[in-house]
Amino acid sequence: MSLTIEQPKTGFDVKKVRADFPILRETVRGKPLVYLDNAATSQKPRQVIDAISRYYEHDNANVHRGVHMLSERATRDYEESRIRIARYINAADSHEVIFTRGTTEGINLVTQAFARQRLNPGDEILISHMEHHSNIVPWQMVCEERNALLRVIPIDDRGALDLDAIEKLLNPRTKMLAIVHVSNSLGTINPIKEMIRKAHKAGIPVLIDGAQALPHMRVDVQDLDADFYAFSGHKMFGPTGIGVLYGKTSWLEDMPPWQGGGDMIRSVSFEGTTYNQLPYKFEAGTPNIADSIGLGAAVNYLEALDMDSVARHERDLLEYGTQLLSATPGVRLVGTAPEKASVLSFTLDGIHPHDAGTVLDQEGIAVRTGHHCTQPIMDRFGIPATIRASLAFYNTREELDTLARGIRRVQEMFG
């Protein structure tokens, strides 16, 4: 089924953008690839792929250690990526950008180097019901170690936070608020600026899981007044295995290192060690140089886009996809909050999501099926899993039409 709706004038040239992504020209099982699994990982533009190849072909050397030309070039490009990323998120200084393996490592760094030393028995950490496992399990671990409590902000039937509950849950025992910016399984966009304001009014620091936000919107960490903001390169059209933890200088300087090794030291003796300055205090060992450079290239790519037209295009895709699925008998949308990013999670009556995903793959359609590392959300809605079509700016209405046809094919097979 295709809705007869006039193509919108969003000002976004999706054909031109798609030409930058080589993988979008792939065929899958003899069908043109329809890639709708962007919340799991996004595809990479040629500019990112070339930046990584260029490093390995021309500049491959370790950083911060060598006096030879290759090391100097590698160090220059590595640190220029840090500066670009700091500028992109409007950090006050590039030393507030800590390179990590991804959002998960950034959150673990904060739990171990920041929260652990501040938690006493009976203290509380506040998270929400819509968190990814990466923003649940590390807090459970540190709470168990310190005999602290994990408290949870509930969500309503639309998948939106119960904002009234936040006021009641914040109390003198709360030592941290850790909240997702955009839900990976529901698409809900949380009002984090207001939540940060409420927490700071009570003297509570805040960590934001921004993994799903950076692919869809510009984030200004100073405007948000976030204490910590973690995100992953591979979600925002950059390489896997690289991410960023942003932290305010005052907090980072007060935190002990999380890991020990090379480059995080000033001097070492058997009597003791003096630690390096920011950001290197938190970057032990040889870093992921190539992918750090690749992430810098991804940021350059995003900076060149008109994010207002990107937002209009993605909003149109979300609205169009929501109409398509809502008009399909037997489809139940999961996550209908009024403020959403481009995520369409749904179930099909009488059909297991894994079976649906397998059939859709036969049609060349890549979606994600399962609990999406958010099992508490599945429990909240009384379902084992969903089918998730997650969109990026290179997706099109035509691809959503293909998804709708694929769903009907699934229903025919199992109906």
Question: Which amino acids are annotated catalytic?
Answer: 373
Q: Are 133 and 374 in contact (CB under 8 A)?
A: yes
Task: Break the chain down into helix, strand, coil percent, rounded to 5.
Answer: 40, 20, 40
DSSP 204: -
**Cα 298 to Cα 56, 59, 88, 392, distances in angstroms:** 17, 19, 11, 14
Count of other CB atoms within 10 angstroms of residue 71: 17
Helix (H) or strand (E) holding 97: strand 97-100
**Cα–Cα nearest to 181, from 149, 211, 142, 215:** 211
Beta carbons within 8 Å of 72's beta carbon, 6+ residues apart: 66
Residues paired with 180 in a beta bridge: 209
Q: Are 233 and 243 in contact (CB under 8 A)?
A: yes
Count of other CB atoms within 10 angstroms of residue 256: 12
Question: Exposed, middle or buried, 220 (CB in 10 Å: 0-12/13-18/19+)?
Answer: middle
Structure tokens at 37: 């699994």
Q: Are 11 and 306 in contact (CB under 8 A)?
A: yes
Structure tokens at 122: 């009976």
Helix, coil or strand: residue 120? coil
Q: How many whole angstroms separate alpha carbon 279 and alpha carbon 89?
A: 16
Structure tokens at 349: 């009556």
Helix (H) or strand (E) holding 28: strand 27-28
The amino acid that residue 118 corresponds to is R
